[in-house]
Structure formats: C-alpha cells, structure tokens
Homo-oligomer: A and B are copies of this chain.
C-alpha cells in the first residue's frame, strides 16, 4: 500500500497553502491520485487567482481555531502544508482563542530554530486528530530523482565537491542551518543560514564579480539537502528555474540535491532551464554518489 493510497482512506486532504506555485502542483497531483482536496489559503501568502480555481477557505496566520473548525467540518483527516511563508512580523498576526492557548508552545518552538518549530507544528496537528503528511507523500512527482537529469553531468571533481557539501550539511544538521551550500574545488564558498538560497547565490555572484574568489567561470556547485533529522513532512528544500538562474549568475557549473530529498514544481521545466543555461542538475545519493 503506497503512502498516497493509505492516506486516501482518511477522508479529504486539507492543503494549507503558502506562496508560490507548489500548492497548486500538489493539489493537482493529489486530485489526480483520487484525493478530495480542500485548500486553506493563507492570507497574504497564497496566490488569490489560483486559489479561486479550487474548493477553498481563506485563513490567516494565527487562526488555528478557525482552521481546525473548518477542516473538521470538511471531513479532512490529513493535512499538507506547502508553499512559502516568511516569518511574519508579530504585530501583523491576529490570534484566535485556540492560537492564544497554543502561544507559549509556539514561542518555545520559534526559539528553538526551524526544526523545533516544524516538529512542534506536527505535534499540534496530531493532538487535533489530524495527520500531517508531506507534500511529497501525496504528490511524489515533485521529488527530484536520482542521477544526472539533464544534458550535462558533474565531473569527478564536481561529484567530490557534492560529497563534501553533503558531509558539511550533515555536520551542521544539529544546528538547524545549512539547507544549501556552495562548494568549488573542495573549497566552501558560502553557507546558507537565515538569508535563503537566492541571497546566498547573489553573494557568490558578487564575490566573483569583485574577483574575490579567484575561480574560473563555470566552477562550483550549489548543493541543497534536507537537514539530518529534519521534519520532511513540512520543509523539504526546493529548486526551480529561479535556482538555475541564480546558479548561472553565480558562475556555477551546476546544481545538486539529495535525490528524493528536494522538491521541484515542474521537473521537466527545471531540466530545460538547466540545459539551456549549460548547468547540470544532479540528484545525489546521500553519500554523494548516484
């Protein structure tokens, strides 16, 4: 019994939607797999025009009570959380009663870094009788597969750099950082923390433009992978055509992710963009090979 078929037994699927196109890719895929879906679109994050095409409710951050009331009413047993949500300014969040009761726990979660936050959220859903499932469990087509996916493949040196990057991310895992790093010729050029992948790639591009890296063009690899022990149901790293753009501007040779440990909204579009830019896209086994 596959994860998708198994969860089909537990009623409708609630999809809590942040920004970007992922929520609709996941909704379409889940519907194709036979799930009844209900979108819970986050005010200020989810795409209004796209949301309107699906059965949906609008909710705000801080409305946990409203969400659970509506989700129970819709017969949702499973819940998926997908899409971009930046940490909100606290004064913008209107808290309902249930959220207020959860607040001390939420504050503790925020203080512990991303992993604590995400694991805590899964626990809250569980206590409310809902099962948190990963977007990749209801829509496995968003997972980046193994191997060289486009026309270009990493060299032996680049595969060694990918392995080096994955080893670094394994070491930084307990510290809740490092979903992405840039490595070139065994040298770690950049480590992502609070700034996000796009900013990190822009930094590498700027260092290169200022001739501070002393590296030939088309050298170096962006590597993204989940943290060890990361709550994969809530936050797998993602790549897309903007990642290809950023990596190309940073003068890199390619992009690698942990195979089945990163998601992409449209794999074929990702591969076409990478082929056009002359970059490889590589799904690495966790030990760095494929």
**Per-residue 0/1 for A204-226: is the Cβ within 8 Å of any B Cβ (1 yes, 0 no)?**
10010001111000000000000
Task: Let me know if A11 is at the binding interface, CB within 8 A.
Answer: no
Kindly identify, within residues 177 to 215 of chain A, every residue whose CB is under 8 Å from any CB belonging to chain B: 177-178, 181-182, 185-195, 199, 203-204, 207, 211-214
Task: Let me know if A168 is at the binding interface, CB within 8 A.
Answer: yes
Task: Let me know if A75 is at the binding interface, CB within 8 A.
Answer: no
Q: For A53, what are the chain B residues with a Cβ–Cβ distance below 8 Å? A: none
Q: What CA separation (Å) do A87 and B86 show in the bound complex? A: 37
- How big is chain A's contact interface, by range? 35 or more
A214 near B172: Cβ-Cβ < 8 Å: no
A175 near B193: Cβ-Cβ < 8 Å: no
Task: Let me know if A69 is at the binding interface, CB within 8 A.
Answer: no
A194 near B213: Cβ-Cβ < 8 Å: yes
A212 near B188: Cβ-Cβ < 8 Å: no
Task: Let me know if A34 is at the binding interface, CB within 8 A.
Answer: no
Q: For A87, what are the chain B residues with a Cβ–Cβ distance below 8 Å? A: 212-214
A193 near B199: Cβ-Cβ < 8 Å: no
**Per-residue 0/1 for A157-178: is the Cβ within 8 Å of any B Cβ (1 yes, 0 no)?**
0000000100110011011111
Task: Let me know if A89 is at the binding interface, CB within 8 A.
Answer: yes
Q: What CA separation (Å) do A189 and B187 show in the bound complex? A: 21
A195 near B185: Cβ-Cβ < 8 Å: no
Task: Let me know if A90 is at the binding interface, CB within 8 A.
Answer: yes
Q: What CA separation (Å) do A172 and B175 show in the bound complex? A: 11
B195 near A203: Cβ-Cβ < 8 Å: yes
B186 near A194: Cβ-Cβ < 8 Å: no
Partner of A168, one of B164, B167, B175, B187: B175
Task: Let me know if A44 is at the binding interface, CB within 8 A.
Answer: no
Q: For A185, what are the chain B residues with a Cβ–Cβ distance below 8 Å? A: 111
Residue ID in chain B nearest A164 by CB atoms: B175
Q: What CA separation (Å) do A193 and B220 show in the bound complex? A: 14
Task: Let me know if A88 is at the binding interface, CB within 8 A.
Answer: yes
Residue ID in chain B nearest A87 by CB atoms: B214
B188 near A190: Cβ-Cβ < 8 Å: no
Partner of A175, one of B182, B188, B194, B204: B188
Task: Let me know if A129 is at the binding interface, CB within 8 A.
Answer: no
Sample of 8 A–B contacts (CB below 8 Å): A113-B187, A168-B172, A171-B175, A176-B187, A177-B188, A181-B193, A190-B194, A199-B203
Chain A residues engaging chain B, CB cutoff 8 angstroms? 86-90, 111-113, 164, 167-168, 171-172, 174-178, 181-182, 185-195, 199, 203-204, 207, 211-214
